[in-house]
Chains A and B, each alone.
Chain A
Amino acid sequence: MNEPVPVAEGDCLSQAFVLNRKDLGQLIERLKRTYERVYLPVGDAFREAGSIEGISFTGARALFGPKKYFFPPRESLFRFTKEGNIEDLLKEEKGAVIGARVCDLKALEVLDKYFGELPEPFYLTRKEGTFVAGATCTEPHQSCFCVQFGGLSTEGLKYDLWFTDFGDVILVETGSARGEEVVKDLDLLNAPKELLYRKERIIERVEREQGFRRINDKKIFDWFSEEVTHEIWERLAEECYACGKCNMICPTCHCFDVVDMTDLEGSGERVRIWDACHLFRYGLVASGHNFRGERLARAQYRIYDKFYYPYERYGIFACVGCGRCFEACSADIDLRDVLKVAGGEGS
């Protein structure tokens, strides 16, 4: 990590630049000029950028990802008055999310599918107005298993900038015209090829350290297609508390409830709030019938909705291998156990 960086001479790349760490503040200021607010990982979570003290793009994903800037935990849809007037609360949103990881961005692409089908205006408006800079993971977490879904390759991913943090310098690659504009304004120097090689070596190491192999999508899908009554589901249901934490922390979960919040006079807002399919009342209807009253049905549903249903509907898995759900799980339920069985390694 701390090898000296060769100074750019000759062998340079046209879409890769070097940012000195001490100039990170300038980059953030530049982003604020166009995007007003900048969000980045601080400790466990993404937060609005304050001082650049201690900011780093090393390590791996934050426990609480950047989904909340695209699909907030609580979002007002419109305001109403007791006289019956309605005020539309859909408006242009701007922002810059920097330091998102491969898994975070892949998760956004999963959300693009779900929200794009309608299309859903609140998510898409935020998506359009948000500048995104990704970052290469330099150390995986114990729970990371993204290698099973393609690992750290950024091929085909959409981003404006991509960072690789080498300590004193940050390699900045551009991925869009918006990104190029920012780099141009900062007058960054082109990066030497050597930095890119070093980035590749980091990626190889991180992927190796995870100790997994790419899964065979079709094989996994076929297992889910056949094994609805496999004994592993009983085991999961026995251990699961049905608390919904895994739903709340998952970067691809997207269910919401809609409630009216009013003041004493009867004016208020219609608000959507993240919901969780693990919760008992999720499928309850007014007649008292609960269509997913069994914990088994709910525990199984969440996992089918990552590996079976989205594959059927969109040809993708809705799991990106970030490991957040089992890092957060109070009952230590590890999704990888199911994948192991599905992939034919042990039961």
Chain B
Amino acid sequence: MKTGNIYIPKPAVIEKVEVEEPETWTFTLGTPLEHTPGQFVEISIPGYGEAPISIASPSGEKLMLTVRRTGTLTGALHRKKVGEMVGIRGPFGRGWPHQEAQGETLLLVAGGIGLAPVRPIIEDAYRGRLNYERLLLLYGAREPALLLYKKDLDRWAKKLEVFVTVDRKNGCETAPKVWDGRTGVVTELFKEVDFSPGRTWALVCGPPIMMHFATKGLISKGVPLNRIHLSLERHMKCGMGICGHCQIGGKYVCKDGPVFSVHEALSWREIPDELEGVA
């Protein structure tokens, strides 16, 4: 019944660092990992703690993590260089219902760094390892410079239906080049795309306010509540359903989630901020 010390991370070496934008870098670690899209790992640096980070690479490939610098651990990670070590625990959590959705329409709605946890699905669909009738990606960022995986977006657009928008054209004066794409929040894209709601699975990940409006929009489009799935973000410590930090409505977001259907979440005695007043 006992296990070893599950708090000790496994060492992993940083093989590659790509700068998505000054505050958000993608780290590729030399350790492949078997996982389900939507799961996350706890990344550890002794002395700086741990943080939950979504797995951005398809299962079985070298582990890719896209990390925005926001505090202690993420700050320390951004000072690491290629060849240095970090620690990993995981994968943890319940991922997306991307398997059930095969053969039907998959609608991915992502905001900002929320593109990372759906990236493995897009990549697998692009390479034909997952088969959908249609795959639509609706992706929004605050400004052009903050869009993640810019090269991937262009590549995916060749096979999949990719819609990208930014809240505003030039947030900072040093914007690299002129933006000639769409502007407006990601939910504006619902006006542009057409899909049959009864055959659609919608997977949503982004800041709380974006998930709120996206869910509202999907409901009004007629997508059933049990086909809208959100990846919830909560304060996490252990990632394994022990420390209690991530709990909402009696569920451990780290273990029972982070992906929940809107149908399930609305049945809780504590309504997630993301869903306050959506239905």
A125 touches B2 (CB 8 A): yes
Alpha-carbon distance A305/B250, docked complex (angstroms): 7
A260 touches B234 (CB 8 A): no
Task: How many A-B residue pairs have C-beta atoms within 8 angstroms? Tell me.
Answer: 124
Contact B2 A287 (CB under 8 A): no
Q: A84-B11, A118-B242, A289-B273 are in contact. Are A259 and B250 (CB under 8 A)?
A: no
Selected contact of A88 from candidates B1, B5, B247, CB within 8 Å? B5
Q: How far is the CA of A84 from the CA of B269 in the complex (A)?
A: 44
Please tell me which one of the listed residues A118, A121, A266 contacts residue B241 in the complex, with CB atoms under 8 A apart.
A118
Q: How far is the CA of A300 from the CA of B235 in the complex (A)?
A: 19
Contact B234 A80 (CB under 8 A): no
Chain B residues within 8 Å of A159, by CB: none
Task: Tell me the bound Cα distance from A257 to B246 in angstroms.
Answer: 11
A344 touches B (CB below 8 Å): no
The answer to whether the Cβ of A308 comes within 8 Å of any Cβ in the partner chain is yes
- Residues of A289-331 contacting chain B, CB below 8 A: 289, 291, 297, 300-301, 304-305, 308-310, 312-313
Least distance between A87 CB and chain B CB atoms (Å): 9
Categorize the interface residue count of chain A: 35 or more
Judge if A343 is at the interface, Cβ distance under 8 Å.
no
Mask: chain A, 66-89; 1 = CB below 8 Å from B; 0 = not: 000000000001101010101011
Q: How far is the CA of A277 from the CA of B6 in the complex (A)?
A: 24
Q: Is the interface of B mostly helix, strand, loop or mixed?
A: loop
Give bound CA distance, A88 to B4, whole Å.
Answer: 9
B242 lies within 8 A of A291 (CB): no
Q: Is the CB of A84 within 8 A of B46?
A: yes
Q: Is A120's beta carbon under 8 Å from chain B?
A: yes
Give the complex CA separation of A334 and B97 in angstroms.
Answer: 44
Are B269 and A225 in contact, with the CB atoms below 8 A?
yes
Closest to A301 in B: B270
Number of interface residues of B (CB under 8 A): 39
Please state if B269 and A224 are interface contacts (CB–CB under 8 Å): yes
B1 touches A260 (CB 8 A): no
Closest beta carbon of chain B to A147's beta carbon, Å: 27
Q: What's the minimum C-beta distance from A286 to chain B, rounded to whole angstroms? A: 4
Q: What is the minimal beta-carbon distance from B206 to any residue of chain A, in angstroms?
A: 11
Contact with A77, one of B5, B47, B71, B269 (Cβ below 8 angstroms):
B5
Closest to A276 in B: B244
For the complex formed, measure the closest distance between the CB of B14 and the CB atoms of chain A, giving whole angstroms.
13
Complex CA–CA separation, A131 to B166 (angstroms): 63
- Interface residue ranges, B against A (CB under 8 Å): 1-8, 11, 46-50, 70-71, 74, 85, 207-208, 233-235, 237-238, 240-245, 247-250, 269-270, 272-273
Please name 6 further chain A to chain B contacts, defined as beta carbons within 8 Å, in addition to the given A121-B3, A308-B250, sorted by A numbering: A114-B242, A121-B6, A257-B243, A258-B7, A258-B49, A284-B235
